[in-house]
Amino acid sequence: MRHLRGLFLLLGCLALSLPVMAQSFGDVVITEVMYDDTASGDVEWVEIHNTTTAAINIGDWVLLDDDIYPGNGGEGVIRVPVGTTIGADAYLVLTKETTTGLPGVIVCTQITGSFGLTNTPDNIALYTAATGGTLIDGSLTVSYPDEATNNAGNSIEKCDVNSTWSGNGADWIESTTVFAAVGRYRHCTPGAANTPCADGTPPALVSVTAVSSSQIDVLFNESVNQTVAETEANYVVNNGVGSPLTALRDGTNLALVHLTVSAMSPNSYTLTVSTMQDLAGNTATNLVGNFTVVGSGSNSVVITEVMYDDTASGADVEWIEIFNTTGAAINIGGWIVTDHSAYPPTSEGTLYIPAGTVINAGQYLVLSSVDMTEITGEVVCPDSVGGWGLNNSGDNLAIFTALSGGTLVHGSLTLNYPDLAGANAGNSIEVCQGDVGQAWDVVQWYESANVFATTGRFRLCSPGIDGRHSSDIKPGGRTIR
């Protein structure tokens, strides 16, 4: 029996290490094409890249520049040798030539016509077989752009090495990476990562978050120029706040700017960024972002439902639901939900709401530390402190506007929700409809009576929707107060 167990273990290990057979478009993509070297008779090659996290067996795959599939000999088809694999995130060079002089090149067999790329745009297509195969990348009709200088020995390279085939000139560049000073190939990166493309896109505003009544965090989609980012006059907050007192680019995240402003009252605000520049010198103007300042215990965003005990006998998949009680969208990126008994939290668990998360006026939103297949639209929040887990006998919950230095929005550090849900029943507890928007210490709760599913972890609950009963009508579940 021990021998059999050892054999099964060995077979399992071998199975895990064997290359997979990709069948999906984009698993392997064409990233570089050398179609015009320095000689009058070109020795051409094509580079491919494995975009997946596993090695892929590409033996018997074909590369063609024909405009029909299977290739009929009008142009040419070359076949990859049996047993050829491309490692995870690796690059390989395919060619029909034996004289490239490139290390690690895969010399393919020509099986139809005469494979040869034109020095003007030409199409290329990669299939898993000569007949009856799957298109993995490329096209029978869309050609690469002619970006390479005539007889210069320069390749064209894809800017995004994980993207699928494109004929758009903006997606390719003529290589500027020096390969050799003499010979057929001068500027190219065969079998290696591509030359970085120039950045021609200006920065965009991702989110604006009021960390406190006098601090605003402004997040862009890329690193920004420090001088421009720290020019206070480039920012204006409406409602009489004006330009910030200070502007400081973050020392670690170069896309984040911290603003200090005059104290703001609880309200909705708009920040206008008149000028911002990225590290490549691209300039954006008049970027606008909205944010909300909430006061301590403002109840602008409240906890309305808690799933702390699902049907599983092991660790519960827990979630909470929140609700925007106001008439405006609120950016809650950077806010936290904690079940610790002190602030800032140092243990137990804390859900950190991702930057840019917005809860619309009157919207219910589910927060969890894991992606749940049963619920759509939930916000997955990383656990930033300790280990997130709610007590089945009652636990406290509190929403703050920041991990530290923030203000309490709803909940409590000391007062627990009641344990009303049946053990392992998969039922949530919900706030009665008439109490939604009230302070944590006065709301009434009940065990949900809304049928969500008859099987699975969650049975009676209403995640992300208004399923609450009126506080003066006793629902089917147990109630408190």
Question: What residues does 216 pair with on adjacent strands?
Answer: 210, 259
Are 375 and 322 found together in one domain? yes
The answer to whether position 5 is within a domain reads no
Q: Which pLDDT does position 113 carry in this prediction?
A: 87
Query: Average pLDDT, stretch 340-360?
Result: 87
- Residue 460 inside a domain? The answer is no
In this structure, of 202-216, 228-242, 426-440, 444-458, the range with the lowest mean pLDDT score is 202-216
CA angle at 233 for the pair 231 and 238, rounded to the nearest 5°: 130
Q: In the listed set 253, 277, 293, which residue is the last one of a domain according to the structure? A: 293
Residues 312 and 441 in one domain: yes
pLDDT score, position 326: 87
Q: Read off the CATH number of the domain in which 93 is found.
A: 2.60.40
Element (H, E) at 386: strand 383-386
Q: Token pair for residue 119?
A: 């020095």
Instruction: Write out the H or E segment, with its range, that includes residue 7.
Output: helix 2-17
3-state secondary structure of 34: strand
Q: Which domain, by its residues, includes 276?
A: 205-293
Residue 6 has a pLDDT of: 47
Helix ranges (H only) for 80-130 are none
Instruction: Judge whether 400 lies within some domain.
Output: yes
Question: Within this chain, do residues 235 and 280 fall inside the same structural domain, yes or no?
Answer: yes
- What's residue 185's pLDDT? 96
Quick one: 316 and 432 in the same domain?
yes
For the residues of 235-249, what is the DSSP string, one character each? EEETTTTBS-SEEEE
Instruction: Reply yes or no on whether the pLDDT at 198 is more than 90.
Output: no
Residue where the block lists tokens 């003529």: 174
Tell me, yes or no, whether 137 lies in a domain: yes
172: β partners: 158
Residue 268 in domain? yes
Q: In terms of pTM, does the model score above 0.75? A: no
Q: Residue 86 carries which side chain, given as an amino acid letter?
A: I
Tens digits of residue pLDDT in 207-254 = 887 777 888 989 898 899 999 999 999 999 999 999 999 999 998 889
Do 277 and 369 fall into the same domain?
Answer: no
Percent of the chain with pLDDT over 90: 63
Contact 435, 472 (CB under 8 A): no
Same domain? For 264 and 379 the reply is: no
> 150 CB contacts (<8 Å, ≥6 apart)?
36, 119
Same domain, 255 and 392: no
pLDDT of residue 2: 41
Residues 310 and 277 in one domain: no
Cα atoms in the 13 Å half-sphere on the side-chain side of 251: 0
Lowest mean pLDDT among 228-232, 262-266, 300-304: 262-266
Give me the pLDDT at residue 469, please: 53
CA distance 51 to 440: 49
Confidence check: pLDDT of 418 > 70: yes
For the cut 60, the answer to whether the pLDDT of residue 340 exceeds it is yes
Residue 339 and residue 264 in one domain: no
**Average pLDDT over the chain, rounded to whole?**
88
Query: Pick from 267, 293, 319: which residue ends a domain?
Result: 293
The CATH number linked to 243 is 2.60.40.1220
- Look at residue 462 and tell me if it is in a domain: no
List CB contacts of 291: < 8 A, sequence separation 6 or more.
208, 209, 210, 216, 268, 269, 270, 271, 331
Give the residue carrying structure tokens 């299977």.
70
Domain check: are 63 and 124 in the same one?
yes
Eight-class DSSP state of 97? -
Q: Is residue 472 part of a domain?
A: no
Task: Give the chain's domain count.
Answer: 3
Distances (CA, A) of 106 to 47, 78, 86, 137: 10, 11, 11, 18
**Domain final residue pick, 246, 276, 293:** 293
Q: What is the CATH number of the domain that holds 311?
A: 2.60.40.1260
Same domain flag for 307 and 288: no
**Nearest of 355, 351, 356 to residue 366 by alpha carbon:** 351
pLDDT at residue 7 greater than cutoff 50: no
- The structure tokens 């491919």 sit at 48
Provide the pLDDT for residue 20: 63
Domain annotation covers residue 285: yes
* 84: pLDDT strictly greater than 60: yes
Are residues 239 and 328 both part of a single domain? no
